[in-house]
Chains A and B, each alone.
Chain A
Amino acid sequence: EPEVTQTPSHQVTQMGQEVILRCVPISNHLYFYWYRQILGQKVEFLVSFYNNEISEKSEIFDDQFSVERPDGSNFTLKIRSTKLEDSAMYFCASIAVGAYGYTFGSGTRLTVV
């Protein structure tokens, strides 16, 4: 069964550093998403991306965040200057045109120290 692949599975970074989380969505999917889950809390929507542009973003997704699809396969989330409160699991998801259920990746655990 096709999977959404996320790398790395765990990243530790110093506060103030830039991080890039990587995702390889399923190949025929055209809609891409990032969600995050702070430990013990709800899964929260960050951003949706379609046709090489952001279609919707939450209030969490401020100027410190950006997304990019640099080539035909990768979808990245960049955090420019990480804060302690950015520590969370970050999930990438994708969905095909005409489909109804998102496929989520297994997540990247980001720890900011």
Chain B
Amino acid sequence: DAKTTQPTSMDCAEGRAANLPCNHSTISGNEYVYWYRQIHSQGPQYIIHGLKNNETNEMASLIITEDRKSSTLILPHATLRDTAVYYCIVVRLISNTGKLIFGQGTTLQVKP
């Protein structure tokens, strides 16, 4: 699975959009970009995933560049509860059994 690079930490003001970047320059054509987050020491929580098109759900938007070498997770209106470690993970899915290889992630601090 391709490796990802994320900034170690970011701050965001409450109510503003949080834009979390991720580089995955060695991504292969059959690999998806997944985002998870971990609030304090809870279990990771799935946020969103995409292959090459931009995606949006009730939690976030995912923007993937045309060459697929980088992506940005957007939390449109960050709240204090969005303070967490955010993981960008590239996964080659084989019948849903693709294991997740977690990096250090980006620690997002949402401030009042």
Residues of A whose CB lies within 8 Å of any CB of B are 4, 31, 33, 35, 37, 42-45, 48, 50, 55-56, 58, 89, 91, 93, 95-107, 109
- Partner pick for A50 among B93, B97, B100, B101, CB 8 A cutoff: B97
- Assess whether B49 is interfacial by the CB under 8 Å rule: yes
How many residues does chain B have at the interface if contact means C-beta atoms less than 8 Å apart?
20
Give the dominant DSSP class at A's interface: strand
- Partner pick for A56 among B32, B41, B93, B99, CB 8 A cutoff: B99
Q: For the A-B complex with A33-B99, A50-B97, A56-B97 known, give 15 more contacts whose Cβ atoms are closer than 8 Å.
A: A4-B43, A35-B100, A42-B103, A43-B100, A45-B99, A56-B99, A58-B99, A91-B43, A99-B96, A102-B100, A104-B43, A106-B42, A106-B43, A107-B41, A107-B42
Interface pairs A-B: 3 shortest CB-CB: A101-B46, A104-B43, A43-B102
Number of A-B contacts (CB under 8 A): 58
- Partner pick for A93 among B41, B42, B43, B104, CB 8 A cutoff: B43
The smallest C-beta distance from A105 to any residue of chain B, in angstroms, reads 5
The smallest C-beta distance from B30 to any residue of chain A, in angstroms, reads 14
Please give, as numbers and ranges, the residues of chain B lying within 8 Å of A100 by CB-CB distance.
32, 34, 46, 49, 93, 96
User: Contacts A43-B102, A101-B46; is A89 near B97 (CB within 8 Å)?
Assistant: no
